[in-house]
Each structure stands twice: as structure tokens, then as C-alpha cells.
Amino acid sequence: MDIGVPETEREIEIAPLEEPVPGPAPVEAPVGEPVPA
């Protein structure tokens, strides 16, 4: 990926208050055995 020449490079530091990553997938409740009425 050509993002430009290295000579133009400068460094920045990003420290987000919260990382932009979604939380874990919800755990699906196991489907129980049907209970006879």
C-alpha cells in the first residue's frame, strides 16, 4: 500500500478513552428441553 514517502512521516499518539472495539458477542441461552405441561 503506497501511503507516501517515508521522509514525510511524523509520529502521533492516540490514547482513546475507550477503545473503538465492540464488546463480546452475546452468549445465546441454551435451548432447554421442552417441559411437559
Three-state secondary-structure class, residue 16: coil
Per CB under 8 A, 25 contacts another protein: yes
Per CB under 8 A, 11 contacts another protein: yes
**Interatomic CA distance for residues 37 and 7, integer angstroms:** 75
Per CB under 8 A, 28 contacts another protein: no
As measured in angstroms, the least distance from the Cβ of 18 to another protein is 9
Per CB under 8 A, 27 contacts another protein: no
Per CB under 8 A, 22 contacts another protein: yes
